[in-house]
Structure 1
Amino acid sequence: MSLQSFNINNLFGVQGKICVVTGGGTGLGKGIATALAINGAKVFVIGRRLNIVEDSAKEINIAAKESGLSGECIALEGDVGTKQGVVNVYEKVSKLTDRLDYLVNNAGYSGGWRVSSNGNHDHEGLEKMLWSIEDLDFANMTAIHVAGPYLLAVKFIPLFKKSKDACVTNITSLAAYFLNRAVCEYAYA
């Protein structure tokens, strides 16, 4: 066995890999997409707001070009909160590539409270705040955080099968581990 197999680029290199990052227009997703493209991957960033993912892709492409490793970023509009939305994302990606090496499920959603609470000992206020979440917000949150990653992983199986080492990363939250009333509905999803 050659010791070159322990070279960091052989172990973890992404040059030439084809990647999809959902929620890739801002925050952590944008950071992940940037790191992948700078290191030579072709990255499809998916987001519901096309203008946001397009702006991010332009910025990422400048950084990728400067690295000289032939990475690139392509912006695609998509909503991973419904089965049809996932089908649409798959169709867009599969028209542009015949394989997928890496899927990063990063898209997230938080609806926010309609009523606020006044402190740790305001039990009645807390109950009202927790009950104030709208049905649609709760449904969107669970659709994007729970169903979306599952549906994407399943739908992309045909492209994963053409990869030598396909993988999926699901970005989650530490919100479930902290006592913070402001994110309890988020932690649940």
Structure 2
Amino acid sequence: MLFNDKVVIVTGGGSGIGKAAAKRFLEEGAKVVINGRRENVLKETMKELDPSGEKVDYVAGDISVKATGAALVQKAVDTFGGVDVLVCNTGIFNPTGFLEHGEDDLNNYLDAIVKGTFFPAQAAIPEMQKRGGGAIVSTGSMWAIQSVEATPSAAYSAAMAGRHTLTRNLAVEFAKDNIRVNAVAPAVIETPIYNTFMSEEQVAEVLPTFNEFHPLGRNGQPVDVAEAILYLASDKASFITGVILPVDGGVTARLR
């Protein structure tokens, strides 16, 4: 198994891409600590992924707060003995025109995405150093690479570009410690994030219209991104760091 006896932290792990990644890490032998704001969701996910409760734990809290990242890492250390992999997967998304963004709105994107990468990494890296290395994989976004007219997302894209830049900077700074830092950049992935600004009926109507947006002819599923995350976190990618990997069904290939 790729992650036998490894300890993995997944932020935004209660649903969508984070939940799919946590599931795959468990299937590959890891022990996992998940994070999110909603404790009830985390408890349900933990029971679903590991009914025994022996291989999964959780910490509920706002990951943009430094103390939450510290508590998450401490939980991994206390429960499972350390940290080998950190997956920074938090994010919010609501297409909004640039002139319609308010100050609080912008701060929410920066909190969830930039601070939600910065502070957990600060807490996790010292524990990885103790173990002789590790891997950080963040969920970035195709929107930080390519603008999409149908979904104006200046604040989201700027925050995700910050996550991409953190990825490259940390990759260079901590290469000497054998800590690899990469990110995936998904296009349209069918996750519950769309239900935060559309009704169930709207989601069912709108999401299929994006299938042809991707050269491969379909929207992505959470497991598509999860598999890329696992690859970048695994020893199979031992010579890969500082990479932003598009997981976008070919969308950004049009740029080249």
TM-score (norm 2): 0.55
* Correspondence 1:30-179 to 2 at 5 A: 30-62=19-51, 72-110=55-93, 113=96, 129-176=97-144, 177-179=146-148
Tell me: CA distance 1:34–1:109, structure 2 relative to 1, closer, same or farther (3 Å): same
In 1, Cα distance between the equivalents of 2:102 and 2:93?
A: 11
Deviation at 1:16, TM superposition (A): 0.8
Give the aligned CA root-mean-square deviation in angstroms: 2.3
Question: How far apart are residue 14 of structure 1 and its match?
Answer: 0.5
Per the TM alignment, residue 111 of structure 1 is displaced from its structure 2 partner at its CA by: 5.7
Shift of 1:165: 3.7
Distance in 2 (CA, whole Å) between partners of 1:83 and 1:76 is 13
Contact 1:19 1:42 in 2 (8 A): yes
Residue of structure 1 equivalent to 2:227: none
The letter of the residue matching 1:84 is A
How far apart are the structure 2 equivalents of 1:79 and 1:94?
19
Give 3-state SS (helix, strand or coil) of 2:40's partner: helix
Aligned length: 157
Do the aligned residues in 2 keep the contact of 1:40 with 1:72 (CA within 8 Å)?
A: no
- Displacement of 1:104 after TM fit? 0.4
Identical aligned pairs, as a percentage? 26
2:153 match: secondary structure: helix
Give the Cα–Cα distance (whole angstroms) in 2 for the partners of residues 90 and 72 of structure 1.
Answer: 15
- Offset at residue 44 of structure 1 (A): 0.4
Q: CA deviation at 1:171?
A: 1.1
The SS at the match of 2:62 is coil
Mapped contact 1:99–1:161 kept (Cα < 8 A): no
Change (3 A) 1:81 1:73: same
Give, in whole Å, the separation in 2 of the partners of 1:103 and 1:14: 13
Q: 1:16 to 1:94 in 2, by over 3 A?
A: closer
Structure 1: 4+ residue segments shifted above 6 A: none
Correspondence for 1:186: 156
Where structure 1 has 5 or more consecutive residues not aligned to the other structure, the ranges are 1-8, 66-70, 114-128
Do the aligned partners of 1:100 and 1:162 also contact (CA within 8 Å) in 2?
no
TM-score by length of 1: 0.73
Residues 76 and 83 of structure 1, relative CA distance in 2, 3 Å threshold: closer
Cα deviation, residue 105, structure 1: 0.6
Contact 1:86 1:152 in 2 (8 A): yes
Gap regions ≥5 residues in structure 2: 160-256
Distance across 1 between alignment mates of 2:102 and 2:76:
33
Q: Can you list the C-alpha shifts for 1:136-172, whole angstroms capped at 9, x where unaligned?
A: 2211211221122122112123321232441111110
Separation in 1 of the partners of 2:94 and 2:105?
5
Q: Structure 2 vs 1, CA of residues 182 and 157 (structure 1 numbering), >3 Å: closer, same or farther?
A: same
- 1:116-140 CA distance string (max 9 Å, x none): xxxxxxxxxxxxx422223222112
On the 8 A contact 1:111/1:141 being kept in 2, the answer is: no
Cα distance in 1 between the residues matched to 2:104 and 2:75:
27
